[in-house]
Amino acid sequence: MSRFKYSVGPWNVHEGADAYGPSTRESITLEEKIKKFKEIGFDAVQFHDDDAVPNMNNLTEAEIIEEAKKVKALLDKYEMKAEFVAPRLWMDSKTTDGAFTSNSDSDREFAMWRAFRSIDIANALGCDKIVLWLAREGTICYESKSPVESVKKLIDAINKMLDYDKNIKIMIETKPNEPVDRSVCPTMGHAMAVSAATIDPSRVGGLLESAHAILAGLDPASEIGFATSMGKIWGVHLNDQNGMKFDQDKSFGVENLRQAFNQIKVLMENNFGANGEYIGLDVKVMRTEKQEGSYKHLENSLKIAKMLEAKAEKFDYDFQKKCIKERDYEALEMYVMELLMKG
């Protein structure tokens, strides 16, 4: 039995296309994915706005809410919750140069429209969280945007969302680069500072993704710890990443088991989940996997996370104390390695 509740997004089951090649698997319907997520052992689904309401740009505000209610009925059918809605502010021709921080007034307006509609969709799905992965908020040509004005524009956009709905909570999902070269909000420290500068810091927190922390050259468990110390880790996207290259979204723990263990450990030690938070697994199956393997990475990541929970349960805090007292960190480190390697 796990102490945590786990969540996943429909985008985590995908067709295998990458920047250099086409799909390698067939599409699967949203209902089929939700059904399978439940069978695998997930408790909640994460949505981009247009995962829930495809083609939303061409619908009225009332039609968008109607469509979202149909998805809520699907979730109810499979006894699944919605965790959050994230406006997909990077795919549209109106977000080519960024969204909230675009140099174009009308594109910034479009981004706000999507943000408000995401809040409407969240309400229809029965959840109170919005995730902002700020994909194109940053530069590809450094001199094209002011680093000062960009942050101010971001804070202004978040304030408008907080004002639009007095119950909505916003989680900033930080990432240092990709698709932009330099991001406006690369780390948890930046997210916490932006939170503090908004009109209601108590409703602006963070979502830490392991791979994104590694891309920033930081340790994911320490990033989780930093936001936890501020009472602001409201979501995580656990996965793995082999060094500082493109975002890989590998299965949790497959590259660095000790780092994965320490993420689970810090979450357990700080009662993550006590306020209804979910552990999200933002993982992608390998492009080489065949159709029948479409969910294998999710099964594997969930299994690894639960095995690491069991390891963290066994962690001997008395022995840790003794090692700290004697300043014998070699012994402590070897203890951790044996804990992870012994059956």
Under rule CB under 6 A, residue 51 binds ligand XUL:
no
Count residues binding Mn ion (CB under 5 A). 3
Under rule CB under 6 A, residue 137 binds ligand XUL:
no
Distance CA(19)–CA(287), nearest Å, equals 12
Under rule CB under 6 A, residue 173 binds ligand XUL:
yes
Q: List alpha helices for the chain, DSSP H.
A: 30-40, 49-52, 61-77, 105-125, 147-164, 188-196, 210-215, 220-229, 257-269, 296-314, 317-325, 329-341
What residues between 274 and 313 interact with ligand XUL by CB under 6 A?
A: 282
Q: DSSP label at 18?
A: B
- Taking alpha carbons only, the member of 203, 30, 191 closest to residue 129 is 203
Under rule CB under 5 A, residue 175 binds Mn ion:
no
Distance CA(281)–CA(289), nearest Å, equals 18
Distance CA(51)–CA(46), nearest Å, equals 9
Positive or negative: CA dihedral 272, 126, 195, 97:
positive
Which part of the chain contacts Mn ion (CB under 5 A), choosing from 177-185, 204-212, 293-301, 323-331? Answer: 204-212
Q: Which is nearer to Mn ion, 221 or 323 (CB)?
A: 221
Q: DSSP label at 286?
A: -
- Taking alpha carbons only, the member of 204, 308, 208 closest to residue 259 is 308
CB of 269 to Mn ion, least distance (A): 23
Whether the Cβ atoms of residue 316 and residue 323 lie closer than 8 Å to each other: no
Count residues binding ligand XUL (CB under 6 A). 10
Distance CA(184)–CA(334), nearest Å, equals 39
The radius of gyration of the chain's CA atoms, rounded to the nearest angstrom, is: 20
Distance CA(46)–CA(130), nearest Å, equals 10
Quick one: which of 51, 120, 247, 255 contacts ligand XUL (CB under 6 A)? 247
Query: Residue 309 touches which of ligand XUL, Mn ion, none (CB < 5 to 8 A by kind)?
Result: none
Q: Exposure of 69 by Cβ count < 10 A (0-12 exposed, 13-18 middle, 19+ buried)?
A: middle
CB of 330 to ligand XUL, least distance (A): 37
Quick one: which of 49, 83, 107, 209 contacts ligand XUL (CB under 6 A)? 209
Under rule CB under 6 A, residue 133 binds ligand XUL:
yes
Under rule CB under 6 A, residue 237 binds ligand XUL:
yes
Under rule CB under 5 A, residue 237 binds Mn ion:
yes
Quick one: which of 282, 298, 302, 312 contacts Mn ion (CB under 5 A)? 282
Q: Which is nearer to ligand XUL, 129 or 175 (CB)?
A: 175
CB of 179 to ligand XUL, least distance (A): 9
Query: Residue 175 touches which of ligand XUL, Mn ion, none (CB < 5 to 8 A by kind)?
Result: ligand XUL
Instruction: Dig out the tokens for 243 from the structure.
Output: 């060094």
CB of 279 to ligand XUL, least distance (A): 13
Q: Which is nearer to ligand XUL, 14 or 232 (CB)?
A: 14
Under rule CB under 6 A, residue 86 binds ligand XUL:
yes
Residues that bind ligand XUL (CB under 6 A): 11, 48, 86, 133, 173, 175, 209, 237, 247, 282
Residues that bind Mn ion (CB under 5 A): 209, 237, 282
